Structure 1
Amino acid sequence: MDQWLEPNGTVKQNYGHLLLEQKGEIDQDLVDTLRPYFESAHLDAREYFHGQIGISLHPDAAGAPPPVSYPNCLPSKAHRGLFGEVVAGLVTEAYQDEFVGGHKWCVPIYLFREHDDVEKYLWALRFDPTRTREIYGRPGSDFIGIALNAQGEVARVIVGEAKWRASLTDSVVKSLLLGPKEEDEDSGEMAHNGRGIWFEVNRDTPMPHGLRQLQKLLEQRDPDGHANAILSIDRAVFGQGPLPGRTNLVLLVGNGARRREALSCLIPWEKAPAEYTAPHDLQVVEMILEGGGELIDKLYASLWQDT
Structure 2
Amino acid sequence: MLEQIEKVDQDLIDALRPYFESAHLDAREHFHAQIGISLHPDAAVGPPCVSYPNCLPAKAHRGLFGEVVAGLVTQAYQDNFVGGHAWQVPIFLFRQHDDVENYLWALRWNPARKREIYGRHGSDFIGIAVNSAGEVVRVIAGEAKWRKRLQPAVVANLMLGDKERNAAGVLVHNGRGIWFEINRDSPIPHGLRQLQRLLEQRDPNGHAAAILSIDRAVLGLAAPFARTNLVLIAGNASANREARTSVIPWDELPEEYTSAHDLQVVEVILSGDGDDLIDGLYNTLWQNC
Q: Sort the TM-score into its range (normalised by shorter chain).
A: over 0.9
- Aligned: 1:209 with 2:190: yes
1:272, CA displacement in angstroms? 1.1
Structure 1 outlier segments of 4+, above 2 Å: none
Rounded Cα–Cα distance in structure 2 between residues aligned with 1:113 and 1:37? 17
1:149 alignment partner AA: N
1:66, CA displacement in angstroms? 3.8
Segments of structure 2 that go 5 or more residues without pairing to the other structure are none
**Structure 1 residue aligned with 2:139:** 157
Segments of structure 1 that go 5 or more residues without pairing to the other structure are 1-18
1:264, CA displacement in angstroms? 0.6
Deviations 1:179-214 (A, max 9, x none): 0000112x1110000000000000000100000000
TM-score normalized by the length of structure 1: 0.92
Determine which of 87, 94, 116 is the counterpart of 1:112: 94
2:287 alignment partner AA: Q
1:209 alignment partner AA: H
2:93 alignment partner AA: L
Deviations 1:137-173 (A, max 9, x none): 0000001000001110000000000000000011000
Determine which of 16, 36, 41 is the counterpart of 2:18: 36
Rounded Cα–Cα distance in structure 2 between residues aligned with 1:44 and 1:190? 44
Rounded Cα–Cα distance in structure 2 between residues aligned with 1:150 and 1:64? 47
1:65, CA displacement in angstroms? 6.5
1:24, CA displacement in angstroms? 2.0
Rounded Cα–Cα distance in structure 2 between residues aligned with 1:66 and 1:46? 17
Moved more, 20-29 or 123-132: 20-29
- Aligned: 1:228 with 2:213: no
**Structure 1 residue aligned with 2:114:** 132
Are the counterparts in 1 of residues 37 and 46 from structure 2 also a CA contact under 8 Å? no
1:239, CA displacement in angstroms? 1.2
TM-score normalized by the length of structure 2: 0.98
Deviations 1:105-151 (A, max 9, x none): 01000000000000000000000000000000000000100000111
**Structure 1 residue aligned with 2:165:** 183
Rounded Cα–Cα distance in structure 1 between residues aligned with 2:223 and 2:6? 44
Secondary structure at 1:264 match in 2: coil
**Structure 2 residue aligned with 1:3:** none
1:25, CA displacement in angstroms? 2.1
1:268, CA displacement in angstroms? 1.1
Deviations 1:76-114 (A, max 9, x none): 000000000000000100000000011000100000000
Rounded Cα–Cα distance in structure 2 between residues aligned with 1:211 and 1:306? 31
Deviations 1:42-91 (A, max 9, x none): 00000000000000000000125742000000000000000000000001
**Structure 1 residue aligned with 2:218:** 237
1:242, CA displacement in angstroms? 2.2
**Structure 1 residue aligned with 2:286:** 304
Deviations 1:210-231 (A, max 9, x none): 0000000000001111010000
1:128 alignment partner AA: N
Rounded Cα–Cα distance in structure 2 between residues aligned with 1:292 and 1:76? 12
Rounded Cα–Cα distance in structure 1 between residues aligned with 2:175 and 2:250? 21
Rounded Cα–Cα distance in structure 2 between residues aligned with 1:195 and 1:64? 45
Aligned counterparts, 1:37-186, within 5 A: 37-64=19-46, 66-185=48-167
1:306, CA displacement in angstroms? 7.1
1:269, CA displacement in angstroms? 1.2
Rounded Cα–Cα distance in structure 1 between residues aligned with 2:263 and 2:186? 15
Moved more, 293-302 or 64-73: 64-73
Determine which of 231, 249, 267 is the counterpart of 1:286: 267
Are the counterparts in 2 of residues 175 and 192 from structure 1 also a CA contact under 8 Å? yes
% identical equivalent positions: 70
